[in-house]
Amino acid sequence: MAKLGRGGFLAIAVIFHLVYIFSIFDIYFVSPVVSGMRAYKVERSQGTQPPAKRLVLFVGDGLRADKAFQSFPDPSPAGSDADSTPRPLAPFLRSRVLSHGTFGVSHTRVPTESRPGHVALIAGLYEDVSAVTTGWKLNPVNFDSVFNRSSHTWSWGSPDILPMFKEGAVSGRIDADMYGEEAEDYTQDATELDTWVFEKVKSLFVSAKLNSTLDSALREEKTVFFLHLLGLDTTGHSYRPYSKEYLHNIKVVDQGVEEITKLVEEFYGDGKTAFVFTADHGMSDWGSHGDGHPDNTRTPLIAWGSGVARPKKWESGKAPGHEDGFSADWDLDLIQRHDVAQADVAALMSYLAGLEFPVNSVGELPLAYLAGDMEEKAEAALANAQAVLEIYRVKESHKQTTVFRYQPYSAFSTEEDSIYNRSRAIRSKIDSGQFEEAIRQSSELLQHALEGLRYLQTYNWLFLRALVTLGYLGWIAYALVTVIDLHVLHGASKTKRTFVSNSTFTSLLIILYCSLFVQKSPWTYYAYGIFPIYFWEEVFARRSALTAGSKTIFRHISGFKGYALFAIQAVAFIAILEALVWPFSSNLHAQADSISRYNHIFTV
């Protein structure tokens, strides 16, 4: 190849860096959503009913856990000076915790934003940030959800959230009633966003009295009602979570939840409704969210109604679950606290309403929230593990067809430990009445499935990282040779290529591309592959420039003292450079790695 001038060198530099920036997305951020899974639900003998006939989900957008339970002087705008005794702001939700249902903290993952929070709650998966490469389309990849598994879902709330569950779901299954985007104006009283939702729900049930088609639709089984309450997020951003406005908004939400609960229970009169109250993410003291600060990741979870376990009360002291001290000032020490990971809520909702688990859900069913007996819990835990294993099975079979000599995940690699045999062993434990052992094994199996998904996700990392490292090292060497050639030798160096060197580099490229082709790799991999070979070939061909250049550069250094001084200067220079980039690069890697760990699963 002819030597490139300054222009050519700059063009290569720009193209190379642009292409290699993308490698971050190919390594760390690939969608966890795959298709082709069979859906699982809890097996029940004929005539046995699911725990509930319908489910009501309330999401207080941006409600952090502590504020939902702590006591404050009355923050109402009207009664500001009337009473300064601290009292719980959400007495109705608190009454569910004290005497009706089960509660805990739902821990979200980063980024603590509305979209990934709702996807975790309703689809049970931790969405990756690959959406940036697809131009933030509404749904870069369509995913399954609890709503999609319902017979029908009615939802009310923000146009930022509801459409993403409606799109991609079975057509006509999800009704979304939304206010206009202008309603989210920060200068208005944001509690109106919540009262708007409550009023809409009330009017739906009122109109059912005059509309028999609607009435019978509402009385179908396996229905879901989703109330997205954006007020708290808006007041949190405008006034911060310590403000009277935010605390008052909690009161508004609590009152609305109480009214809707009563209305629904009166409408159906069968006591077969399950209720779940939670949040998509929290809110920092500065009125922001997005990062992994505990104020952003801790949200309340309260479940009550049909199928939900009643509170476990201690006579004195501290009930289990409060060990971290986070709930010390909630005055709920006597009630056992059961924390969950956010995606577990999707599994809980599917279970309660008797639905299939959403096919991409990686949530673990929190058994402590279930009212059923041990046999019911054992069946539920097995179905939950099988649903997550199904994702593993599909991803593994995809991997098997696309990589050379696939090495299976070790925990499932022997015949005895195969997915099939492990599930069958649990089934026989249930059949012989060993429910606790079956639950233990199911939980272990589910953890293995999650580990296995992580294994598949990182399967190609070594290869990709090696390729990218070779590319960057090649770039450094190539740039060095070019600079020496242009500025030290003034273009006088000769390129030397032999038949052997030419055929070696060409064969390397052909072998690499063939293996990428056989493994059905994306086109970007081909781009990552060409740079190391091009750079190293150029460096090899112009190796004489390196020797000639180094002679010129080092000619003024002589004697031991001269070389020693030069070595010290070089080490000091590299140390300073390292010190400059170290905090940044270690932080960046930790973040990229933790984000990708959260995405558990994807096929590289």
The CA-atom distances, in angstroms, between 603 and each of 1, 21, 419, 458, 519 are: 37, 20, 19, 8, 12
Q: Which two tokens stand for residue 117?
A: 């929070």
Q: Which stretch binds Zn ion (CB under 5 A): 86-94, 116-124, 232-240, 366-374?
A: 232-240
Q: Quote the CA–CA distance of 183 and 197 in Å, as a whole number.
A: 12
From candidates 66, 74, 144, 233, binder to Zn ion by CB under 5 A: 233
Residue placing its CB nearer to Zn ion in the complex, 233 or 356? 233
Tell me phi and psi for residue 175, to 5 degrees.
-95, 130
Q: Quote the CA–CA distance of 224 and 590 in Å, as a whole number.
A: 39
Q: Which stretch binds Zn ion (CB under 5 A): 230-238, 245-253, 293-301, 477-485?
A: 230-238
β-pair type (273-278, 298-305): antiparallel
Residue placing its CB nearer to Zn ion in the complex, 233 or 537? 233
Least gap, CB of 230 to Zn ion (angstroms):
8
Number of residues in contact with Zn ion under rule CB under 5 A:
1
Residue placing its CB nearer to Zn ion in the complex, 173 or 293? 293
Q: Which two tokens stand for residue 354?
A: 């008797």
> What string marks each residue from 179 to 218 as x (binds Zn ion by CB under 5 A) or -?
----------------------------------------
Pinpoint the alpha helices (H) of 284-434. 294-297, 344-352, 374-402, 419-431
Least gap, CB of 239 to Zn ion (angstroms):
13
Residue placing its CB nearer to Zn ion in the complex, 158 or 386? 158
CA torsion angle 186 189 190 196 (round to 10) = -130
Cis previous bond, 111, omega within 30: yes
Nearest to 154 by CA among 56, 255, 33, 286: 56
Residue placing its CB nearer to Zn ion in the complex, 223 or 278? 278
Least gap, CB of 93 to Zn ion (angstroms):
21
Least gap, CB of 233 to Zn ion (angstroms):
4
Least gap, CB of 227 to Zn ion (angstroms):
17
Give the long-range contacts of residues 406-411, CB within 8 A, separation 24 or more: 409/448, 409/451, 409/452, 409/455, 409/456, 411/448, 411/451, 411/452
Residue 587, C-beta contacts closer than 8 angstroms, at least 6 positions apart: none
Residue placing its CB nearer to Zn ion in the complex, 109 or 149? 109
Q: Which stretch binds Zn ion (CB under 5 A): 63-71, 145-153, 227-235, 418-426?
A: 227-235
Least gap, CB of 193 to Zn ion (angstroms):
12
Least gap, CB of 65 to Zn ion (angstroms):
16
Does 144 participate in binding Zn ion (rule CB under 5 A)? no
Q: Which stretch binds Zn ion (CB under 5 A): 6-14, 103-111, 224-232, 233-241?
A: 233-241
Q: In 3-state terms, what secondary structure has residue 77?
A: coil
Q: Which stretch binds Zn ion (CB under 5 A): 77-85, 218-226, 231-239, 432-440?
A: 231-239
Least gap, CB of 243 to Zn ion (angstroms):
15
Least gap, CB of 69 to Zn ion (angstroms):
21
Residue 382, C-beta contacts closer than 8 angstroms, at least 6 positions apart: 423, 426, 427, 430, 438, 442
Q: Which stretch binds Zn ion (CB under 5 A): 22-30, 88-96, 228-236, 373-381?
A: 228-236
DSSP letters for 170-229: PTTSEEEEE--GGGG-TTS-THHHHHHHHHHHHHHHHHHTT-HHHHHHHTSSSEEEEEEE
Residue placing its CB nearer to Zn ion in the complex, 115 or 202? 115
β-pair type (223-229, 174-178): unpaired
Least gap, CB of 124 to Zn ion (angstroms):
22
Q: Which two tokens stand for residue 217?
A: 């639709």
Residue placing its CB nearer to Zn ion in the complex, 127 or 233? 233
The residue ranges that bind Zn ion (CB under 5 A) are 233
